[in-house]
Structure 1
Amino acid sequence: MTDQDAVPPSLAGWRFLRKVMATDFSEIWQAEDLKLQRVVAFKIFTPQADDSGIIPPFPVAEWQRRFIQEAQLLARFDHPHIIPVVALTRLDDGRPCMVMQYMTASLQREIGVDLFDPAKVEAMAPEYRPRAVPPARARQILLEALSALIVVHGRGIVHRDVKPRNLLLSNGPGSRVKLADFGMAKTPDEPPAAEAIWIGTRDYISPEQYANATLVTDRADIFSLGVIGIRMVTGYFPDRERLRAVEGLPDAFAELLRQALAYQPDQRPGAVEMAARLAAIRL
């Protein structure tokens, strides 16, 4: 076992089982609640900073503030399509961690990874290859994500990192999704940055979020969801020709996805409008 895979320091009442994933900011561990005898997910603040203590664009202290803010934001929601946080605590070594519902996978398990080079795709195991889902399944996922965003946006919050890995599957492919990872969320009281910065996942963020993430509105999340929608029905990133060629995709569905990707934010539908229009489409 390497240092990176080492089991976290003990925490009374919990037993760590396995590391599920790691990012530049945190590790996700499957753990057991010994008192309630249930499996949960531990998200542990584990920053991978450079020599100057920075994980662009913020210093580690700011990311830790955002980590704690994320747990507090998620704890305020009681929604079937937002991941619940049940506790915020610290490990024996002092690192903050949040306890969440354990989910079996993310949407990435259902649609594969975002890698489209034919030679590399051919070399992948089948479960990792990028692929499309039927329009009816894509519609279901989008409606569930929009249900979450309606509530989030209603509180003046912009998620800023809506992507397949942050749409968690409750019970594997075909199951309902829950929006997760609010570590990059913009809250109503967030002040504009002194200099333009971008945060998020490059392949899924809007043009205005790439230009300056501190100035975005809720329509930035709609752009990200539009990218996910096209990725789901075509198996690729946005491409008009591929979108037109999707068998069984109603014109109204394709047009809604195109509008979600409008360059100007005010030309994109809001979450309420997008959900209503999507719900009205028959498949």
Structure 2
Amino acid sequence: MSDLKTIQNETLVGEPMNPGQGQSGAARFPFLAPAEKPGLLGMIESYEVIGLIARGGMGMVFEALDPGLMRRVAIKVLIPQLAASPEARARFLREARAAAAIDHPNVLPVYAVGECQGFPYLVMPLVVGESLHHRLKRNGPLPLDDLLRIALATARGLAAAHERNLIHRDIKPDNVLLETGGGSRVWLADFGLARAVHDSGLTRTGAIAGTPQFLSPEQAAGREVDLRSDLFSFGSMLYAMATGGPPFDERAPIAVLRRITEDSPPPPSEKRNDLPPALEDLIAHLMQKAPDDRPASALEIVES
């Protein structure tokens, strides 16, 4: 099996993410303390919250200012449905602290982890960029050089986590962030946060935003997962990068789960003709139904 670096070597011969706008004080959240300055949404501990950036299946992301270091940051707060579960809160904090220990240029750093008014939160850099999901939605399949560059960077970040025996559990284009504005940085984000959803008792399809096209068969079947679960999801993401869409693209979540556990997607080469055979073989290897038939960890698919 060729690794991604070899495939890249053999093959190679936007718009910024909205960082959030100031919002009126009328938009209230139970974990926010009153703002100490005009024009702020509120306070999370010492952080001055400027506005809401995004809301997803697991958390709400706010733009904020860290007044101590005078830098803009993003703060992810666990949504109320999950924050109500002691198990989910504890898991969120535990996994976030584990992720904070990963020091790698392709892993989005975690600056701080805490709890405010019973709501766990983590503090991250404010990325000027977009998610891989938005890039694919706007442009469709990636050019081969971009595909390999982003895939290799993501795999390296995942390998750094796997070296610590940390499972991501939610590899998908939404969790890969791409720098814009002339930069080319790639970050893998949201390590381990999907575990909080699992521990909350919420149904899997209700807890994950959108349809669960990037779950592994063992996740879809509700079985225990290990590092190899991430690799199936990574293979599904490579498939989407190559073809413009996920390998299992049904409208109903239950139909997606069934196809993940029972079916094989058509080869990516049926949808584009410039893919190196080694890349298609790698995607097929990653997307084997049985974990024992996949690579053991991301370490196997990046440059030694």
Name the TM-score, length of structure 2 as normaliser: 0.70
8 Å contact from structure 2 (residues 171, 214) kept in 1: yes
Q: Quick one: distance in 2 between partners of 1:11 and 1:156?
A: 31
* SS across alignment from 1:85: coil
Pairs within 5 Å for 1:1-150: 5-6=27-28, 8-9=32-33, 10-11=43-44, 13-47=46-80, 49=81, 60-91=85-116, 93-104=117-128, 105-112=130-137, 127=138, 131-150=140-159
**Equivalent in the alignment of 1:167:** 176
**Equivalent in the alignment of 2:284:** 258
TM-superposition CA deviations, 1:8-39 (whole Å, max 9, x none): 32246432122111124321001112232211
8 Å contact from structure 2 (residues 58, 194) kept in 1: no
The CA RMSD over aligned residues, in Å, is 3.0
Please point out which of 264, 267, 278 is paired with 2:293.
Answer: 267
Does the C-alpha gap of structure 1 residues 140 and 39 become closer, same or farther in structure 2, counting only changes over 3 Å? Answer: same
Q: Quick one: distance in 2 between partners of 1:212 and 1:172?
A: 41
Q: Does 1:208 align with 2:218?
A: yes
Structure 1's unaligned 5+ residue stretches are: 50-54, 113-126, 187-192
TM-superposition CA deviations, 1:217-273 (whole Å, max 9, x none): 211111101111110111122242553342421111111111111111121223122
Q: Quick one: distance in 2 between partners of 1:205 and 1:256?
A: 18
Name the TM-score, length of structure 1 as normaliser: 0.75
Q: Quick one: distance in 2 between partners of 1:154 and 1:245?
A: 34
Structure 2's unaligned 5+ residue stretches are: 1-22, 34-42, 248-264
* Runs of 4+ more than 6 Å apart: 1-4
TM-superposition CA deviations, 1:169-206 (whole Å, max 9, x none): 233697322121121259xxxxxx9x9x8686621011
TM-superposition CA deviations, 1:96-127 (whole Å, max 9, x none): 32211112322112111xxxxxxxxxxxxxx4
Moved more, 177-186 or 255-264: 177-186
**Equivalent in the alignment of 2:269:** 243
Q: Quick one: distance in 2 between partners of 1:39 and 1:78?
A: 20
Q: Which has the higher contact order (CA 8 A, sep 6+)?
A: 2
Does the C-alpha gap of structure 1 residues 63 and 254 become closer, same or farther in structure 2, counting only changes over 3 Å? Answer: same
Q: Quick one: distance in 1 between partners of 2:225 and 2:180?
A: 33
The residue type equivalent to 1:225 in the other structure is F
Give the count of matched residue pairs.
Answer: 244
* SS across alignment from 2:148: helix
The residue type equivalent to 1:138 in the other structure is L
Does the C-alpha gap of structure 1 residues 133 and 4 become closer, same or farther in structure 2, counting only changes over 3 Å? Answer: farther
Q: Quick one: distance in 1 between partners of 2:266 and 2:180?
A: 32
8 Å contact from structure 1 (residues 206, 220) kept in 2: yes
8 Å contact from structure 2 (residues 103, 109) kept in 1: yes
